[in-house]
Amino acid sequence: MNKKTIRDIDVQGRRVFVRVDFNVPLSKAPDAHGRYAVTDDTRIRAALPTIEYLRKQGAKLILASHLGRPKGPEAKSSLAPAADRLSALLGVPVALAPDCVGPEVERRARALQPGQVLLLENVRFHPEEEKNEPAFAKQLAALAEVYVNDAFGSAHRAHASTEGIAKHLPAVAGFLMEKELEYLAGAVTNPAHPFVAILGGAKISDKIGVIENLLTKADKVLIGGGMANTFLKAQGIAVGDSLVEDASLDTAKSLMAKSGGKLVLPTDAVLGDKFDKDAASQTVGVAGGIPAGWRILDIGPATVQRFGAELKGAKLVVWNGPMGVFEFPKFAQGTNDVARLVAACGATTVIGGGESVAAVEQAGLAASMSHISTGGGASLELLEGKALPGVAALMDK
Catalytic annotation on 68? Answer: no
Spatial separation of the C-alpha atoms in residues 341 and 358, rounded to whole Å: 16
Alpha-helical runs (H) found in the chain: 42-56, 80-90, 103-111, 128-131, 134-141, 175-180, 186-189, 208-217, 226-234, 249-257, 301-311, 333-344, 355-362, 376-383, 389-392
- From 203, 315, 330, 386, the catalytic residue: 203
Catalytic annotation on 377? Answer: yes
Q: CA of 77: how far to CAs of 68, 180, 267, in Å?
A: 6, 26, 45
Inter-residue contact 219 to 262 (CB < 8 Å): yes
- From 43, 55, 217, 295, the catalytic residue: 43
By DSSP bridging, strand 371-372 and strand 348-351 are parallel
Inter-residue contact 17 to 169 (CB < 8 Å): yes
Inter-residue contact 356 to 135 (CB < 8 Å): no
Catalytic annotation on 313? Answer: no
Q: Based on the number of CB atoms within 10 Å of its own CB, is 53 exposed (0-12), middle (13-18) or buried (19 or more)? A: middle
- From 354, 375, 376, 390, the catalytic residue: 354
- From 58, 377, 385, 386, the catalytic residue: 377
Catalytic annotation on 43? Answer: yes
DSSP secondary structure of 139-158: HHHTT-SEEEE--GGGTTS-
Among 127, 13, 19, smallest CA distance to 375 is for: 19
Task: Please identify every residue annotated as catalytic.
Answer: 43, 203, 354, 377
